[in-house]
């Protein structure tokens, strides 16, 4: 029975062979330079579509974030509004700060200073990414609960818009 087992590699090769045979039946066997032409076209498409952070969607997130920050008086409300549940808010701020500290460690110290590739981050410090994920989710929940008395149902939308503005702002930083 053990000899009858077909591993995933064998199945994958068989699928590729069947697809290739079907392709040759449909398009014929006179495709000597097909791969070279396809590679050239793919390279041209990839060169024309270089990634840039300066897009319309990023600009819209920045504008929306600035508008939300300004029109909700976010900075003033966070500092002095008595309706804020300070316990939940402060716990949320600490959890988000933990998340930011882990991100700073990976991006600035590991990537820029120590030149550790992003694929090796998890090998370098395996517990950091799960901790950052839990801290972010917990921080988001705590901030929503803490700020709910001020903006009620709009609180998640306000926080998400501000979060996206910060993410876009970070994406605009130079890549060293």
Mean pLDDT of 42-60: 77
Whole-number pLDDT of residue 51: 72
Q: Identify the pLDDT of residue 163.
A: 96
- Picking from 69, 43, 95, 46, the residue whose alpha carbon sits closest to that of residue 162 is 69
Give, in degrees to the nearest 5, the angle at Cα 39 between 35 and 42: 140
* The pLDDT value given to residue 84: 97
**Predicted pLDDT of residue 28:** 64
Q: Are 170 and 61 in contact (CB under 8 A)?
A: no
More confident: 170 or 144: 144
Q: 103 vs 34, 57, 117, 119, 158, CA distance in Å?
A: 45, 24, 14, 15, 22
3 pLDDT higher than 60: no
pLDDT band at 97 (very low <50, low <70, confident <90, very high): very high
The winner for highest mean pLDDT among 28-37, 48-57, 115-124 is: 115-124
Two structure tokens written together for 115: 């030149």
Average pLDDT in the 93-105 region?
95
Q: Which residue from 125, 88, 95 is spatially nearest to 110, judged by alpha carbons? A: 125
**Considering the entire predicted model, what is its pTM?**
0.69
Longest dimension (CA), the chain: 77
Q: Is the dihedral of CA 71, 147, 75, 172 positive or negative?
A: negative
Report residue 117's pLDDT band, with 50, 70 and 90 as the boundaries: confident
Comparing 28-42, 47-61, 115-129, 145-159, which segment has the lowest mean pLDDT? Answer: 28-42
Alpha-carbon distance of 23 to 166, in angstroms, equals: 48
pLDDT-derived band at 152, boundaries 50, 70, 90: very high
Domain boundaries, the chain: 2-48, 56-171
Which region, left, alpha or beta, applies to residue 73 given φ > 0 means left and ψ of -120 to 50 means alpha? left
Q: How far is CA 173 from CA 74, 95, 97, 112, in A?
A: 24, 24, 19, 12
């Amino acid at each position: 029975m053990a000899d009858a087992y077909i591993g995933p590699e064998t199945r994958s090769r068989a699928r590729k062979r069947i697809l290739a045979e079907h392709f040759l039946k449909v398009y014929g066997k006179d495709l000597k330079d097909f791969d070279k032409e396809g590679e050239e076209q793919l390279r041209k498409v990839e060169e024309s579509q270089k990634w840039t952070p300066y897009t319309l969607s990023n600009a819209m997130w920045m504008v929306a974030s600035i508008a939300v920050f300004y029109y909700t008086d976010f900075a003033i409300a966070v500092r002095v509004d008595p309706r804020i549940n300070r316990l939940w808010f402060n716990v949320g701020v600490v959890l988000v700060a933990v998340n930011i500290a882990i991100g700073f460690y990976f991006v600035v110290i590991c990537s820029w200073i120590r030149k550790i590739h992003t694929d090796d981050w998890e090998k370098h410090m395996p517990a950091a990414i799960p901790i950052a994920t839990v801290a972010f989710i917990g921080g988001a929940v705590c901030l929503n609960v803490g700020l709910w008395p001020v903006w009620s149902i709009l609180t998640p939308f306000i926080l998400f818009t501000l979060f996206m503005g910060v993410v876009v702002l970070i994406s605009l930083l130079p890549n060293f």
